[in-house]
Structure 1
């Protein structure tokens, strides 16, 4: 029987403007793993914080052999920070969680327990998510997109609180995309995803950094980086306009044989504009398809830069 002590674990925590709480988060993570007798590593990734978060996590890394701190050159976003942490991780399993204690560290053991049943990817399903209205709405929209784009199974809940087996992590780290989206990439890279009911605590300090702008940006990133739906929709619209233009051009051409135009040459101009604009729209739609395919093929693997790494 598979038991948790047979494996090592890396906990990846993106850090952004959380100097007042990240220390407590790490202390509780360490306490959970020490008490359970599990081999562990904590990877803290400072994502361009504007407060003293880097000083806090760098000091933690200097004092503990289990902690590694990465300082990104600037704020790249949560998914880039998670990717940096995944590439730094060494554990057989990797857990990703937030830095604000809304993902209670003791709930990590529930993720591990579910993973021991043979699942290579386990998400935390929150009993009651403590989030604002626009975040809950954004989560529903993203969930719909996940089902369409990444074939998220119905009934499976996804979140940033998750555990990934090493082979899933390697597939994510090896993917060539300029816009990482860890949840979607995990769904594409896993064979047996599952979820487990976990607690989600209210935020004790500060406010969420995931505002409406960031949620909208994430939705657009998913749509334009992992789906051809916007392009195909634009192409369909383009071909529809082109068809109408051709029909309109034909109508004016036939009409000119029976009805004289009040303005000499007007029919010729109308027909030419309708036909040529239709052709241009079709060509732009096809070119857009090739541009997207080319962009996906040449996207750089490194989408962030680490300015400093600290470990004991």
Structure 2
């Protein structure tokens, strides 16, 4: 099934919980039980949408078992690994709740904090983000996350709070806006920020990771920051222009120095000064500009193909 478009209207629920699943097969039963308990205690009708991003640990088998045992559980299986944010996009497109909670599958996003998020959605607040005030991650993971958000903020001229991530509650108005965004490169926090809807932050507890390990190394995080910057910002182009100007100034200084050497008799080869100045000035600027323009052209090429953002292979709801 090729997906990326909302399905026909279905019965509206109070809350949908969207969970991208990758590498946490043994956490899923505990996750479903805990989410169910807290939402039943809050007297909320709900569904749990588990999106298997082609996890290598046979997560789909466990999702099928949970779907058979729990009417509220719906499983989606993507045809290949499209990435965490594409999996979240699939879950949002298939969600039926008036409010949608997005959380990770590894139980570091604590299910018992869901009522805290929902309680903060009052008045004109459309988005509530969980602030991990006491992160239960290693020093390396916390440092990598902080560097990622700082690099992303610098590349996109936006301030980011590294204590927040995807864990949050989003109104149906926000989810519909996100579903209407067709770009293939997905990064939930930036897309939500772009909508401009009122956002609140609430402190939440952060759990220990009991299974698997994060797929985001520092190198991958910084690489992702660069990819997101190319998709959401023109700052790399402006940086190239700045760098080109600096190189031009350097080339001018070298040219002046070459003229000085020529006038003092150190250079006796005719045309040396003009050749050096031309090579430094024109070559460096052109190569830098072509490189960055090529990156943006590649992004445009990817967008104009209009391929689906994900493919749903199997769906336990049908």
Indicate whether the TM-score tops 0.5: yes
Report the TM-score range of the alignment, normalised by the length of the smaller protein. 0.7 to 0.9
Q: Out of 134, 140, 146, which is 2:146 matched to?
A: 140
Paired residues, what number? 306
2:4 corresponds to which residue?
A: none
1:70 corresponds to which residue?
A: 76
Pair 1:168-2:174 in alignment: yes
Mark the runs of 5 or more structure 2 residues left unpaired by the alignment.
1-11
Q: Out of 304, 307, 312, which is 1:306 matched to?
A: 312
- Within 5 Å, which residues of 2 pair with 1:23-42? 23-42=29-48
TM-score (norm: length of structure 2) = 0.83
- The one-character-per-residue Cα deviations of 1:79-124 (angstroms, maximum 9, x if unpaired) are 1111111111121111011112222212100000001343111111
- Within 5 Å, which residues of 2 pair with 1:239-278? 239-249=245-255, 252=258, 256=262, 259=265, 261-277=267-283
Does the CA-based 8 Å contact 1:43-1:89 persist in structure 2? Answer: yes
Distance in 2 (CA, whole Å) between partners of 1:79 and 1:132 is 23
Distance in 1 (CA, whole Å) between partners of 2:208 and 2:125 is 29
Distance in 1 (CA, whole Å) between partners of 2:282 and 2:150 is 38
- The one-character-per-residue Cα deviations of 1:113-163 (angstroms, maximum 9, x if unpaired) are 001343111111123110111221122234435655374577x95222101
2:183 corresponds to which residue?
A: 177
Change (3 A) 1:245 1:202: same
Distance in 1 (CA, whole Å) between partners of 2:287 and 2:212 is 49
1:11 corresponds to which residue?
A: 17
Q: Out of 185, 188, 196, which is 2:202 matched to?
A: 196
Distance in 1 (CA, whole Å) between partners of 2:286 and 2:241 is 12
Distance in 1 (CA, whole Å) between partners of 2:159 and 2:274 is 53
Mark the runs of 5 or more structure 1 residues left unpaired by the alignment.
1-5
Q: Out of 77, 91, 100, which is 2:97 matched to?
A: 91
The more displaced of 198-207 and 120-129 is 198-207
CA shift, 1:216, in A, is: 2.8
What RMSD over aligned residues (CA atoms) do the two structures have, in Å?
3.1
1:3 corresponds to which residue?
A: none
CA shift, 1:272, in A, is: 3.9
Does the CA-based 8 Å contact 1:242-1:282 persist in structure 2? Answer: no
Pair 1:82-2:84 in alignment: no
Distance in 2 (CA, whole Å) between partners of 1:192 and 1:92 is 17
2:111 corresponds to which residue?
A: 105
Does the CA-based 8 Å contact 2:174-2:195 persist in structure 1? Answer: yes
